Amino acid sequence: ILDALPYVDMVHEDYESYALALVEEEMKKIKPRPLIKETQITTRPQSTILKTELEFIASGQERPTVIGASDVHAPTSMEEWKECIKIARAEYEA
């Protein structure tokens, strides 16, 4: 059994305009900073994989669809998990 009523905080009707006036007053005190022009970011990839990926993105090509992705299933037994980890480690170290 609930024996409490919802709490409603009474807010003065001029509260929002008062808060906005305070913000405006504070903004007048702050010096405007000059805008920094956007520059094109240049990168020098240190790996061939990253270089290839950046070139692919710059070319605007669509990613190829992975064939057979629907055939992949999540491991269900401990042995399948261990085999997946073994394969992942071998791919990582290669």
How many whole angstroms separate alpha carbon 74 and alpha carbon 70? Answer: 11
As a whole number, the mean pLDDT across the chain is 80
Q: Which is higher by pLDDT, 7 or 86?
A: 86
Does residue 90 carry a pLDDT above 60?
A: yes
Contact (CB, 8 A) for 83 and 75:
yes
Rg over alpha carbons for the chain, rounded to the nearest Å, is 29
pLDDT reported for residue 41: 64
Q: Mean pLDDT over residues 53-67, rounded?
A: 80
Q: Mean pLDDT over residues 14-40, rounded?
A: 85
Does residue 24 carry a pLDDT above 90?
A: yes
pLDDT reported for residue 67: 59
pLDDT reported for residue 68: 55
Contact (CB, 8 A) for 63 and 53:
no
Q: Which residue has the tokens 């669509």?
A: 62
How many whole angstroms separate alpha carbon 75 and alpha carbon 72? Answer: 9
pLDDT reported for residue 69: 54
